[in-house]
């Protein structure tokens, strides 16, 4: 496990982080605590969650993930872990979260952080992220941007950043980050921070894996030039990149249990690419999950690879796989597949 600092911060994060969105749905409290304990034993310092978790979002379970992590956090040395959580943006049908927030404004952000802090049993979070942009965008499997949906986006970003800055000044938040954001959005937040003398975003948490490398097209350069770090989520593409869905699989596996995620992860172009990556892994004597996780961890812009698991056994395997270093020959084979089948699961 490598520990490093996000540029411009004193956040000492592990280059593998633990994602927690299964906690409270597919993973019960005792199993979640076992994962959290094991992650700390292995040197993980970064733990990521969100106010809307667990996934899939529903009123009956909303906030359960933070509550489970909070009951574990209460017995940890607080200054030795980095707690990251997220505020939900304008409602994607989550009417049970503050009545379905219509804006990322001060009222919504203040209500969200106070509720998260209470569930987490802490006075502050180390990294507070906007879960998805406040403006209408094609997200989570959608791809077509519609210019007819735009509004006064610059003013909205200014208001959001001002509200986040107030949380930093109040000591409730140490640093801020973005998630599921575009190159334009990241640059607007950076410009607003400079123009208004407000906190600068330190990280961006977007999906990144062998089946979705869209991050490389514009955001990778921004990470390099603006010194931001990617917290790469879904490095196994909802488990697709373990290979388990290439044959009849466990009915408790996420895509079997929750078929509503098919829009993003069951597109026609995915299976041929998945089979090609599986062939590469087999050729070089690797599990497919090892190829996938080690690839994400190897990228220059990846500050931390967020691994989420349903069981402790899965977590143990994933941590071992992520530590593998891929040879130039393997990386060249990966690029050949990517050029033939780029980004089938955006």
pLDDT of residue 19: 98
Distance spanning both ends of the chain, measured CA to CA: 29
Over its C-alpha atoms, the chain yields an Rg (Å, rounded) of: 19
The pTM (predicted TM-score) of the whole model is 0.96
pLDDT of residue 259: 79
Q: Please state, in angstroms and rounded to a whole number, the distance separating the CA atoms of residues 73 and 58.
A: 24
- pLDDT tens-place string over residues 152-174: 898 999 999 999 999 999 999 99
SS3 sequence of 40-99? HHCCCCEEECCCCCCCCCCCCCCCHHHHHHHHHHCCCCHHHCEEEEEECCCCCCCCCCCC
pLDDT of residue 144: 85
pLDDT of residue 262: 66
Cis upstream peptide for 54 (omega within 30°)? yes
pLDDT of residue 192: 98
For 233, which DSSP code? B
Closest of 84, 88, 90 to residue 69, by C-alpha: 84
- Given a contact cutoff of 8 angstroms between Cβ atoms, the answer to whether 240 and 211 are in contact is yes
Q: What are the structure tokens assigned to 337, written together? A: 């597949």
Catalytic residue among 53, 175, 208, 233: 53
Q: Where are the domains of the chain?
A: 3-205
- pLDDT tens-place string over residues 283-312: 999 999 999 999 999 999 999 999 999 999
pLDDT of residue 252: 79
Give the orientation angle of helix 215-226 with respect to helix 183-196, to 10 degrees: 20
Angstrom CA distances, 95 to 88, 134, 137, stand at 11, 15, 19
Q: Is 277 in the active site?
A: no
Q: Please state, in angstroms and rounded to a whole number, the distance separating the CA atoms of residues 70 and 318.
A: 24
Q: Please state, in angstroms and rounded to a whole number, the distance separating the CA atoms of residues 7 and 13.
A: 11
CATH topology of domain 3-205: TIM Barrel (3.20.20)
User: Which residues of the chain fall short of a pLDDT of 50?
Assistant: none
């Amino acid at each position: 496990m490598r520990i490093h600092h996000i540029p411009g911060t004193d956040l000492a994060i592990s280059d593998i982080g633990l994602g927690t969105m299964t906690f409270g749905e597919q993973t019960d409290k005792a199993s979640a605590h076992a994962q959290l304990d094991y992650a700390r034993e292995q040197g993980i310092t970064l733990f990521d969650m969100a106010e809307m978790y667990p996934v899939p979002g529903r009123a009956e379970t909303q906030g359960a993930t933070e509550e489970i992590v909070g009951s574990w956090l209460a017995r940890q040395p607080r200054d030795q872990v980095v707690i990251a959580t997220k505020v939900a943006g304008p409602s994607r049908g989550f009417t049970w979260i503050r009545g379905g927030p219509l804006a990322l404004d001060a009222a919504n952000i203040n209500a969200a952080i106070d509720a998260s802090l209470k569930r987490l049993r802490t006075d502050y979070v180390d990294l507070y992220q906007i879960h998805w942009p406040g403006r209408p965008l094609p997200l989570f499997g959608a791809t077509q941007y519609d210019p007819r949906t735009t509004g006064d986006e610059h003013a909205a970003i200014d208001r959001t950043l001002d509200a986040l800055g107030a949380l930093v000044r109040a000591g409730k938040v140490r640093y801020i980050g973005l998630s599921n954001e575009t190159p334009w959005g990241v640059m607007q937040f950076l410009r607003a921070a400079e123009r208004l003398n407000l906190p600068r975003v330190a990280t961006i948490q977007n999906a990144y894996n062998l089946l979705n490398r869209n991050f490389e097209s514009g955001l990778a350069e921004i990470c390099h030039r603006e010194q931001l770090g990617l917290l790469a989520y879904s490095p196994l593409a909802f488990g697709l990149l373990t290979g388990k869905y290439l044959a009849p699989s466990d009915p408790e596996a996420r895509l079997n249990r929750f078929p509503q995620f098919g829009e993003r992860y069951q597109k026609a172009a995915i299976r041929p690419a998945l089979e090609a990556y599986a062939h590469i892994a087999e050729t070089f004597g690797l599990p497919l999950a090892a190829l996938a996780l080690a690839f994400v961890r190897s990228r220059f812009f990846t500050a931390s690879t967020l691994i989420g698991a349903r069981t402790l056994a899965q977590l143990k395997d994933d941590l071992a796989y992520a530590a593998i270093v891929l040879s130039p020959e393997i990386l060249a084979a990966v690029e050949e597949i990517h050029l033939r089948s780029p980004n089938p699961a955006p």
